[in-house]
Amino acid sequence: MTVATTTETVPGTVLAAQDVNVTNAPKPDAGNDLNNNSHGKDMGDSKELTSKDLDDYLHHYNKWQQSRFGRALQQWIADHLGLKFDAEIKWKNVLMIGGLHLTTVIMFFKYVWYSTLTTWLWGFFVGGCAGFGVTAGAHRLWTHRAYKAKLPLRIILMCCYCLSGQNSLFDWVRDHRIHHKYSETDADPHNSNRGFFYAHVGWLLIRKHPECIKKGRLIDMSDVLADPVIQFHQRYFMALKILFTFLVPSMVPWLFLGEPLYLSFLANCLLRYVLTLNFTWLVNSAAHIYGNKPYDSRIRPAENRAVSIVSMGEGWHNYHHVFPWDYKAAEMGHYSVNVTTFWLDVFAKIGWAYDLKEPSKELVRRTLEKYGDGTHITAPIGHLKEVPEQETTKSR
């Protein structure tokens, strides 16, 4: 599946002008408008990368090797537990992610009884802001260019993304672009054909497939690096992550809301953080395995309402992989199951979000009729046919 452009959607489909609706579009500016975010740019492979550049990158990447202890431990697991992996385990990530989750579970059952209304409300607010940074920022804006954002909104999105505590925006966008372009292949970072656990978090725990490494270097990221907001985030990534993921969420309730510091830390640096990570990961795992496929039955991504609720609208995944450039990431866009769309519409009303792209209803109809599995709400129910009325009735 090709990454968000305005000329491609379902494989083999070329869009006409009337197939793409762009709302809240300002008048063209002849100057160099950084807010345009490379509208219409073909987000394919970099055309400036030479074979030597790629070879040098792969050589540098392959310098990383497991430690002797790591190799011995992985071999022991294979010999005694029968668990064999086709790539080196990243034990550092296993310890950090596994330790974070284990500690969170233990601390939750010990201290949940001490939580207050402030604990939950602040955690819900911070978690929502973090989710908005991922969905509206990293995903719909910087990866798919589904809309354009003025500088104040891009700064807000960057700060909100930092609350999520994930990889750098550059890494997130790169991985997601190759996920769409090479979905469910060896080049897909979280290929769901390798199972739920791998698609959910396992892909972060072992070395990437060689094809994934190669395609990740080839993908064109020049439009992302041209954004000064991304440049700032890239330059100060670790400081921003520490500040927004851990310090701000835990210090504000303690300093201004009367929350004990230990409780604020546990609720925000552990529980809220773990939930934010898993809600994002569910889009890669559950939404690629469980659900119906009303728009394209040939691909694995599916419509999953539960995932959409916890991920602020990212669970309508069959639709999204067919129309990745739709700013709603869903056909219906109901706010109750797509909170991200609600906030984007709010920012559109004040002019901070504009050129919001979505397919025409006619294009959606043609697509689902040709490729869908028949579960769309408008699809006829073939087996429910009325018995025709007889021309004559038996007199009583």
Helix (H/G/I), strand (E/B), else coil: 232? helix
Across 33-42, 134-143, 183-192, least confident range: 33-42
- The pLDDT, as a whole number, for residue 247 is 97
- Residue 148's H or E segment, with its range, is strand 148-149
- The pLDDT, as a whole number, for residue 269 is 93
**Arithmetic mean of pLDDT, 99-127:** 95
Domain boundaries, the chain: 89-371
Residue 41, pLDDT above cutoff 60:
no
User: pLDDT tier at 389 (50, 70, 90 boundaries)?
Assistant: low
User: pLDDT tier at 260 (50, 70, 90 boundaries)?
Assistant: very high
DSSP β-ladder status, 20-23 and 148-149: unpaired
Those residues with Cβ within 8 angstroms of residue 266's Cβ, 6 or more apart along the chain or in another chain: 107, 111
Higher local confidence (pLDDT), 253 or 18: 253
For the chain, how many residues are written? 396
**Arithmetic mean of pLDDT, 334-348:** 95
- The pLDDT, as a whole number, for residue 224 is 96
**Arithmetic mean of pLDDT, 389-396:** 56
Those residues with Cβ within 8 angstroms of residue 196's Cβ, 6 or more apart along the chain or in another chain: 285, 286, 289
Residue in 186, 382, 197 with CA at minimum distance from that of residue 288: 197
DSSP at 185: S
Please report, for residues 3, 120, 192, 256, the alpha-carbon distance to residue 285 in angstroms, rounded to integers and kept in the order given. Answer: 19, 27, 6, 38
For 116, half-sphere exposure in the C-beta direction (CA atoms, 13 angstrom radius) is 11
Longest CA span, the chain: 93
User: pLDDT tier at 3 (50, 70, 90 boundaries)?
Assistant: very low
For residue 89, the cross-strand partners are 206
- The pLDDT, as a whole number, for residue 332 is 83
- The pLDDT, as a whole number, for residue 37 is 39
Average pLDDT value for the chain: 87
H-type alpha helices, the chain: 51-61, 68-81, 91-111, 117-132, 151-163, 169-181, 196-200, 210-218, 222-225, 228-235, 237-241, 248-256, 261-265, 273-284, 305-310, 317-322, 339-349, 361-371
**Arithmetic mean of pLDDT, 293-314:** 96
Residue 274, pLDDT above cutoff 90:
yes
- The pLDDT, as a whole number, for residue 33 is 40
Torsion of CA 353, 359, 362, 367, to 10 degrees: -160
Those residues with Cβ within 8 angstroms of residue 213's Cβ, 6 or more apart along the chain or in another chain: 58, 61
- The pLDDT, as a whole number, for residue 19 is 66
Residue 36, pLDDT above cutoff 90:
no
Helix (H/G/I), strand (E/B), else coil: 209? coil
- The pLDDT, as a whole number, for residue 388 is 65
User: pLDDT tier at 354 (50, 70, 90 boundaries)?
Assistant: very high
Across 2-16, 48-62, 76-90, 313-327, least confident range: 2-16
H-type alpha helices, 285-327: 305-310, 317-322
Evaluate whether 171 touches 226 at the Cβ level (below 8 Å): no
pLDDT digits (tens, 9 = 90+) for 190-248: 999 999 999 999 999 999 998 999 998 899 999 999 999 999 999 999 999 999 999 99
Residue in 116, 123, 160 with CA at minimum distance from that of residue 138: 160
- The pLDDT, as a whole number, for residue 312 is 96
User: pLDDT tier at 64 (50, 70, 90 boundaries)?
Assistant: confident
Across 83-87, 317-321, 340-344, least confident range: 83-87
Those residues with Cβ within 8 angstroms of residue 364's Cβ, 6 or more apart along the chain or in another chain: 295, 323, 331
- The pLDDT, as a whole number, for residue 38 is 40
Residue in 292, 336, 287, 335 with CA at minimum distance from that of residue 314: 287
Backbone angles phi, psi at 39, to 5 degrees: -60, 130
**Arithmetic mean of pLDDT, 91-110:** 96
